[in-house]
Amino acid sequence: MEGTVFNQRYLLKGKIGVGERSEVYLADDLQQPRLLAVKVFHSQYSSDPSFVQRFPLEAQTTSSLNHPNIIDVFDWGNEYGLYYMVMEYVDGSNLKELLAVEGKALPGRAAEIAMDVCSALDFAHRHNLVHGDIKPSNILISKTGQVKVTDFGIARAGSGGTAAQYISPEQAQGLAVDGRTDIYSLGIVLYEMLIGRPPFDDADPTTVAYKQVREEPVPPTALNPEIPPVLEAVVLKTMAKNPAERFQTAQQMKDELMRFLGKIPAAPAPVTMAAPVAEAKKSSAAAWAWAGVIVTILVVAGIVLAVVFTRDGGETVQVTNVVNMKLEDASIALEQQGLKVGDIEDQYMESESQEADVVVAQDPAAGSEVKTGNKIKLTVIKELRMPNVTGLSKSDAVNNLKKQNLTVVEIDNKPVEEEEEIGKVVSQSPAGGSLVSPDVTVKLEVGVEPTTVTVPNVVGMEEDKAKKELEDSGLDVQVEEDVSPDVPEGQVMSQDPTSGQTLEKGGTVTMVVSKGPS
């Protein structure tokens, strides 16, 4: 496949990955200087009705997931009898390759990787998309340490499914799945990072699937005593057989990992008041007396607190600084102060050095005195990339732009020679993949049938050949004859209009054919 060009734009250079369903190639973008990854699905999928039906929808859905921990999908299509996807290129390795070299990860690093995957999953789940194939080979890590999840949606578009070592019990039983399925699979990946192998393994996938449903994993600390018990608790909770006993959202799992890493305070332990054993043996009358005292104390304390907090209209706090935090982390930090996130203003990325979902401004500013319950307005970086609509029909191109909230569109007609370009977008500005904002003016050139024709040169041709040349150009021909001592009989002596001039399609060219010498 090296040297193949997809969509007249993506030049495949070399193979960088091979999977069960596809091969991945490094590619040059011929329209702008950048490297891309092109996933080319094996040829058998082109004749798989289920794949053919689902592929466009899955590709469209995946391309709409704009998140720093999810691989960007820029383009997709079908050429040479092969389906392909054009994706962001990550200069690094997948987690499977890293574990093959390193064996396992330190607890802190394993938690950080899992936390970033949680961010990706939470974003996808909030957009009603379940990954369904979380495993180490679908988790990419760049040389700078950035974590990216790939194969959203497409994992389920082809035949075959998740490797048995990573499927949830409900997947193994053919039951309905939801976001908690991805949480279970991520728990297995986290287990493997800590131990160096998945909890259930066997040469027979059926045996592995049975273990996923029926057997409990060996606790991580039994295999590696250096694993912190807090982290082990997270792993085991994610791998509960019953989905109702797992974390119910990826954000909940992420919060626990952040607490383990010390990035947010630990949840306060519930306060209980237990009577001493000796007191428990006292008469019920004495117990009720003590209860009355305690209730009285609590009531008085409540009245005092109510006076303190309502005297000035509520407790005040100093607003914490959340600038440069991820939006999710900023929300948690404000909630811990008793504050709320108010209006969120989008500020769109202008350069690749910026990071999406990061807070860049807050109002009121950090250090301001506000009452608890107040809302803090945040300005957050948002990523919006221009979709590639070249080659689409005008209506499809406009619809794709509208889905990205790009509504300011200018369309110009461009005469084209190739019949297959008529009615299709032949050029666009900005280019596909460019960072844009919703108010950008998108300019499209749509191919139309040419209305004028450039007259070809037929002087010196034989009459029949000249006539065919003009008619193939969409012109009518009128023939006149004249004698000539210099031009052989049957050759064109002159033409009107001359070559290079333009005529309306269907216009007439008069050519004078030699009769030879008189």
Residues annotated as catalytic are 133
Cα(49)–Cα(239) distance, integer angstroms: 35
Cα(74)–Cα(60) distance, integer angstroms: 10
Please report which residue ranges of 202-249 form alpha helices under DSSP H.
205-214, 220-223, 229-238
Q: Are 17 and 97 in contact (CB under 8 A)?
A: no
Phi then psi dihedrals of residue 214, to 5 deg: -110, -25
Q: Is the dihedral of CA 46, 47, 53, 58 positive or negative?
A: negative
Cα dihedral value 294, 298, 303, 304, nearest 10: 100
Cα dihedral value 433, 439, 441, 444, nearest 10: 50
List CB contacts of 484: < 8 A, sequence separation 6 or more.
493, 514, 515, 516, 517
**Burial group, residue 38, by CB count within 10 angstroms (0-12, 13-18, 19+):** buried
Q: How many residues does the chain have?
A: 518
Report strand pairing: 22-29 vs 10-18. Answer: antiparallel
Distance from chain centroid for Cα 115: 17
Cα(489)–Cα(493) distance, integer angstroms: 10
Q: Are 246 and 238 in contact (CB under 8 A)?
A: yes
Eight-state DSSP code of residue 122? H
Q: What is the DSSP string of 451-499?
A: SEEEPPP-TTSBHHHHHHHHHHTT-EEEEEEE--SSSPTTBEEEEESPT
Cα dihedral value 449, 454, 459, 465, nearest 10: -10
* Tokens standing for residue 428: 């666009």
